[in-house]
Amino acid sequence: MAKTIKHIQPTDGTIMNKIYFIRGQKIMLDRDLAKLYNVETKQLKRQVKRNLERFPSDFMFELTKEEFENWRSQFGTSNSGDMMGLRYAPYAFTEQGVAMLATVLNSEIAIQVHIQIIRIFIKMREMMLTHKDILLKLEQLERKADKNDADIRIIFKCLKELVNPPPVPRRKIGFIQDE
């Protein structure tokens, strides 16, 4: 009798921890997606290879050895020779690749998890836009402060001159004798 494994819906935090920044893009690795979709990594890769035309290089790419090492170093893995159980370099899926992956993995779990992942990508994009707006406003304030700094310096200079006026040459009082 086959075991049925009950799938537990992952939390947003769990999914966010599986999103990495490689090649200037937010990506998710095949092994993490396979766990989330409750399939084996080899099954996920098999489906991708069968539908390779759906995964152009801006949707999915294979990590280089250097990228893989950098990714591993983020976790402080002690075994430098260990591939962490990997025989082949992992596939990295961009947001669009994750969306396409849901079309080739047609299970109910894959659809539910896919919707959750896409919502998280959208939240992250919105947060980045919000941060971008805040940074722009800070730059504007900084520029205003720089202008104000110059104005404040001028005001202080004028105040110092008022408090300590330069000596004015005075005419001598009294009888002046011609020589």
- Assess contact for 90 and 68: CB atoms under 8 A: yes
- What integer pLDDT is reported at residue 92 of this predicted model? 92
- pLDDT per residue, tens digit, the chain (179 aa), is 444 455 567 787 788 888 888 888 888 899 999 888 888 888 899 999 999 999 998 999 988 888 877 776 665 554 444 445 566 778 999 988 888 888 888 777 877 887 888 888 888 888 777 777 777 777 777 777 766 777 777 877 777 777 776 677 777 777 777 76
CA distance 109 to 4: 13
CA distance 64 to 84: 15
Of 31, 26, 42, 8, residue with least CA distance to 112:
8
- What integer pLDDT is reported at residue 36 of this predicted model? 87
- What integer pLDDT is reported at residue 1 of this predicted model? 45
- What integer pLDDT is reported at residue 146 of this predicted model? 67
Q: Domain residues of the chain, as ranges?
A: 12-133
**12-133 has which fold?**
Mlu1-box Binding Protein; DNA-binding Domain (3.10.260)
3-state secondary structure of 14: helix
